[in-house]
Amino acid sequence: MRRTILLADDSPTIRRLITQTFADADFNIVEVNNGDAAIKALEEMRPSVVLTDIYMPGKNGYEVCSYVRRHPAMSATPVVLLVGAFDAFDEQTAKQCGATANITKPFEPAALIDLVMSILPPETGDPQAEPQTPQELSVAPAGAPEPDEQDLLGLETIFKDEPGTGAQASAITDEDVDRIADRVIQKLATQVIESIAWDIVPDITERIVRNELKRIHES
């Protein structure tokens, strides 16, 4: 049975990217560009999952989630909050409104698919089921270091590679600093560009996601 995702986000690029992400999955995507339209859509349909931006015109994502939780026929529907890279995410409000999970943009397409699949209710559905407890999820943005990595800038590797900058070195010269700074910039460039792109350069973001989807399909 084809399932339905209600996607509420005021960014056409984000809606297009998420639609592309689920293009090969067995989902029907219903798009709206504001919270009020999301509420209206929820009055007319029963989606399997709701993906909602936390900041958008009309009702915000927290309010959309609260509406779902109060609705007797949809109280168990999973709700994922979409959080911009530079948005202030209110974890307490997310818990109070009953959000199932949250994911930070930019995200890996595969990470979003895995998240949605992990919170989907059984095929038959159970309207009487209890709402899912909000998950302590922190899905890393695309290209970001793994959460358990301690050397976030890769400095340990850089220092090992740079002559004269090891533990035995008595001092670091200006040349060493410049050389190490160049290495750090090279390591962070892609991550920084991808993070900024989602909010500032939509076309670049779309190209990044297209390339990632192509890589996943070819692997």
Token duo for residue 1: 């049975």
- At 181, is the pLDDT very low, low, confident or very high (cuts 50, 70, 90)? low
pLDDT greater than 50 at residue 137 = no
pLDDT at 26: 85
Q: How far apart are CA 5 and CA 11, in angstroms?
A: 17
The single residue listed with the structure tokens 């892609």 is: 190
Kindly report the average pLDDT of the chain as a whole number: 75
DSSP 15-45: HHHHHHHTTTSSEEEEEESSHHHHHHHHHH-
Q: Which domains does the chain have, with CATH numbers?
A: 3-142 (3.40.50.2300)
Query: pLDDT digits over 41-55, tens only?
Result: 999 999 999 999 999
Q: Which of 15-24, 41-50, 154-163 has the lowest mean pLDDT?
A: 154-163
pLDDT at 202: 54
The single residue listed with the structure tokens 């090992």 is: 160
Q: How far apart are CA 195 and CA 176, in angstroms?
A: 28
- At 138, is the pLDDT very low, low, confident or very high (cuts 50, 70, 90)? very low
Q: Is 79:98 a contact under the CB 8 Å cutoff?
A: yes
pTM: 0.60
Strand partners, 4: 28
**Amino acid residing at 159:** F
Residues 6+ apart with CB under 8 A from 140: 104, 107, 111, 146, 147
Strands 49-53 and 79-83 come out as: parallel
Q: Is 32:8 a contact under the CB 8 Å cutoff?
A: yes
pLDDT greater than 60 at residue 204 = no
* pLDDT (average), residues 114-134: 64
Exposed / middle / buried, residue 177 (Cβ in 10 Å: 0-12, 13-18, 19+): exposed
Q: How far apart are CA 161 and CA 66, in angstroms?
A: 52
Q: Is 109:208 a contact under the CB 8 Å cutoff?
A: no
pLDDT at 59: 94
pLDDT at 165: 45
Sheet of 101-104, strand order: 27-32, 3-8, 49-53, 79-83, 101-104
